[in-house]
Amino acid sequence: MFEMAACGLLRTLDNGVIVRVNPTFCAWVGRSAEALVGRRRFQDLLTMGGRIFHQTHWAPLLRMQGTLAEVKLDLLHEEGASIPMVLNARRHEADGVVVHDIAAFVARDRDTYEKELVLARKRLELAVAEAERLQEESKDRAHFAEQMIGIVSHDLRNPLAAIAMGAGLLADGDLSEEQRGAVERISRSTSRATRLIVDLLDFTQARLGQGLRVSAEPTDVHAAVFHALEELAVVFPARKTTHVRIGSGPARADAQRLAQLVGNLVTNAFAYGAQDGVVTVTSSVGSDLVALAVHNDGPPISETVQRTMFRPMERGTTDSHHPRSVGLGLFIVREIARAHGGSAEVTSTASGGTTFSVVFPRR
Amino acid sequence: MSIRKRNHVTISGSGPSTMVFAHGFGCDQNTWRLLAPAYEGRYRTVLFDHVGSGASDLSAYDKTKYDSLEGYATDVIELVEDIATGPVVFVGHSVSAMIGLLANVRRPELFAAQVMIGPSPCYIDDGDYVGGFVRKDIESLLETLEGNYLGWASNMAPAIMGAPEKPELAIELTNSFCRTDPAIAKQFARVTFLSDVRAEVPKLQAPTLVLQCTDDIIAPLAVGEYLRRALPRANLALIENVGHCPHLSSPSASADAMDTFLREERL
C-alpha cells in the first residue's frame, strides 16, 4: 500500500529528516529514495518562500494541532523545476519517536486554476479601486460644473438685465422702422438668453441637487398663464397666441414656475410650429386636476424624437439654424410638472398639430 | 475601544512583576502555550494577539498604521501602560522581538528587560550584513501565502483528520486561526520581512537576552552574532534546535536560558 499508493507519502523525524519515502513521491520530485532518506529534510525540498512558510506556519501549527490539511507548497524537482503540491501532515509518536507523516498530491491544474483565480481577484480589486477613483473624480467634476454654472449664470444676469433695460428705453424713443426692428431683436435675444440661464440653473439643481425647488401656494392658474403670455407678447410682438380658460378657483402651485413652464412651451411652439399659426394655450382647473396645454399647427414631431425629447440635451431638430436653446426647456417642463406631483406629455399628428400638456393635482 | 479587547489580552499568573509575551508572524498567543505556564508561578503573565492576528479585533486593523513595525510598537506601548504599573519583562518571538525593541527605545521606563526569541533586525542581506534572504525570497513567500489563500481556513483546521489527543485545543486553534484575513497576513509578512531596524538596535538600553537557535533559516546564527555585537547589553544563548520556534519545540531549554538571564538580572 505504502509503495504503490497513488499519492506521494513520506515520513520524517521531528526535525524534518526524511526516514521513509514512497516511489510515487520520488518520481514526482525526480530524486531516488537513497538520495532522500537520511540525507534530506522535507523543508529542503521547498522553495525559499515555502521554507519560510514552513517555519512560520507549518511547524508551529503541526506541533500545536497535530495535523495539517490542504497546505499548498511548491516542491523542487531535482532538475530545478518546482512542482505545486497539496500536502496533508500528521505529527505523532511511532515506537517512541516523534514522526511526521506527509501525504502529497501533485496539483498542477489546481495550481494553474487557482493562480488564475487569484489573478482575476487582483484584477477585480484593481478595477474596483479604479471605478471608485473615477466615481470620486466625476463627483468632483459635477460639483465643479455646478458651481461654474452657478457663477457664470449669476454673472451673466446683470449685463443681460442692463441690455434689456437699455432696449426698453430705446423702444420708447423716436425710431425708424429699421431701428425698431433691431431693438425688438435685441429684446427677444436678451429674453431668450435670460430664459436659458434660468433653465441652466434649474437643470443643475434638478440633476445634481435635490431636484427642482418649487414653493406651492394657492394660485390663480389662469392669471399665472395670462401674465406669462403678456410677457411673451412683448418679446414676440409678431406672434399670436390665444388663451382658453376652463373652470376656475385656486390650485396649489408655484406661479413663477408655471409661468416658466408656459414660457418654455410657447417659445418652443413659436420656434417649431407653423410660423403664421396661432399658438393656443389652454388652462383648465378641474375639481381634482389642473391641466395646461400648448398647441401649435405645423409638421408633426417624429415618434423617435417624442420618446427622448423630455430628456436633457435633446433637441427637437438637428437644424442648427433653428433658434433654440441647448435642449433643457422640455426637461425643465417635465421637472416642474413632477415637482407639482404631475407629469408632462406630448401628442403630435400631421392633421391635429402638436400639443404639449401638463397635468398635476389641484389639492 | 479597550486595548484589552483590541489585542485580545489574556492575563494570568501572579508575581511582583509582569512578563508580556508577544507572538511572531503566522501565529497568535497560542504559540506561548508551552512556555508561558512556566512563569505563571513567579510573574503576572500577559499574552496578547497583534491586531490582525488571532482573536484580535479586526475592525481595528488600519492598513496605514500597520504598514510599519512602528504601528505595532505603538500598540505594545499602549498595552504595557494599560496592564502594568512597573516596568515589564518583554518576551518577543521573531518580529515581535523588534517590535519590543522599538517600543523600548521609545519608552525605556516601561521595560525592565527584553527577551528576544529568534530575532532579526533585518531579514534581507545588505552589503556585509547577512540577513539570510534576498528580496526575491520574500516575494516567493508572498506567493506561497497567496497559494494558500483559497484553502486558508481549511489548512489551519484540523477538523478533517482531527487532533485526537487534544480535541479542545484543536477547536480553539481553529477558531482563532481561521479569523486571520489573508490580505492582513500578506501585509504583515511584507512589513515583517522587509523591515530594517538595525539603526535602532544600538539604542536599546535594557538588558537583553537573545535566544538563538542552532539551525534556524529565519534567524541564522550570523544574525544572532550581529545582535550580540550591536546590542549595548546583550546576552546570547544558543539553543540546540531545528526551526524558528524553540518555545514550542524546546520549551524547557528555552525556559532554562531565560531563567539564567532573569536570575543574573535579578528580575
Both A60 and A135 in one domain: the answer is: no
Torsion sign over Cα B103, B105, B111, B117: positive
User: Is residue A122 domain-resident?
Assistant: no
CB neighbourhood size of B104 (10 A):
29
A201 and A301 share one domain: no
Work out the mean pLDDT of chain B and round it to a whole number.
88
Query: Predicted confidence band at A206 (pLDDT cuts at 50, 70, 90)?
Result: confident
* Contact state of A55 with B162 under an 8 Å Cβ cutoff: no
Q: Enumerate residues 222 to 251 of chain B having a beta carbon within 8 A of any beta carbon in chain A.
A: 242-245, 248-249
Final residue of a structural domain among A150, A181, A211: A211
**Residue B10: beta bridge partners?**
B47
Whether residue A246 is found in the same domain as residue A181: no
**In this structure, are A361 and A230 located in the same domain?**
yes
Structure confidence at residue A282 (pLDDT): 96
Of A106, A141, A169, the residue at which a domain comes to its end is A106
Q: Any bridge partners for residue A101, and if so which?
A: A11, A90
The CATH number linked to A76 is 3.30.450.20
> Into which CATH architecture does domain B3-123+196-264 fall?
3-Layer(aba) Sandwich (3.40)
Residue with cell 500545536: A64
Q: Please state the domain count of chain A.
A: 3
Q: Within this chain, do residues A180 and A221 fall inside the same structural domain, yes or no?
A: no
Q: If 0-12 CB within 10 Å is exposed, 13-18 middle and 19+ buried, where does residue B132 land? A: buried
- Report the distance separating Cα A140 and Cα A272, nearest Å: 37
Q: What is the ipTM of this complex?
A: 0.86
Q: Which of B11, B20, B31 is nearest to B76 (CA)?
A: B20
Nearest CA in chain A to B134: A48
The answer to whether B54 and B156 are in contact (CB under 8 A) is no
Mean of pLDDT values over B127-146: 91
Q: Which DSSP symbol is given to B121?
A: S
Convert the pLDDT of each residue in B203-215 to its tens digit.
999 999 999 999 9
Name the residue of chain B whose CA is nearest to A89's CA: B161
Instruction: Tell whether A116 is covered by a domain.
Output: no
For residue B166, pLDDT beyond 70: no
Predicted pLDDT at B162: 40
Please indicate whether, in this complex, the C-beta atoms of B217 and A72 are within 8 angstroms of each other: no
The residue with greater pLDDT, B172 or B216, is B216
**Taking a contact as any Cβ pair under 8 Å apart, which residues of chain B between 20 and 39 contact chain A?**
24-27, 30-31, 33
Measured from the Cβ of residue B33, the count of other Cβ atoms closer than 10 Å reads 17
Query: Is B213 an interface residue toward A (CB < 8 Å)?
Result: no
Cross-chain Cβ contact A90/B161 below 8 Å: yes
Query: Domain of A193?
Result: 129-211
Mean pLDDT confidence for A179-189: 90
Confidence tier at B161 by pLDDT (50, 70, 90) = very low
Q: Based on the domain organization, do A37 and A165 belong to the same domain?
A: no
Look at B142 and A51 and tell me if their CB atoms are within 8 Å.
no
Does the global pTM surpass 0.80?
no
CB contact under 8 A, A53 and B151: no
pLDDT at A209: 64
The better pLDDT of the pair A288, A121 is held by A288
What CATH number has the domain bearing residue A133? 1.10.287.130
B125 is catalytic: no
Same domain, A274 and A324: yes
B133-139 mean pLDDT: 93
For residue A104, pLDDT over 50 is answered with yes
- Where are the domains positioned within chain B? 3-123+196-264
Last residue of one domain, picked from the residues A211, A245, A270:
A211
3-state secondary structure labels for all residues of B216-255: CCCCCHHHHHHHHHHCCCEEEEEEEEECCCHHHHCHHHHH
Closest CA to B24 of B88, B116, B155, B110: B116
DSSP letters for A36-98: HTTT-BGGGGB-HHHHHHIIIIIHHHHHHHSEEEEEEEEEEPTTS-EEEEEEEEEEEEETTEE
Per-residue confidence (pLDDT) for residue B156, from 0 to 100: 44
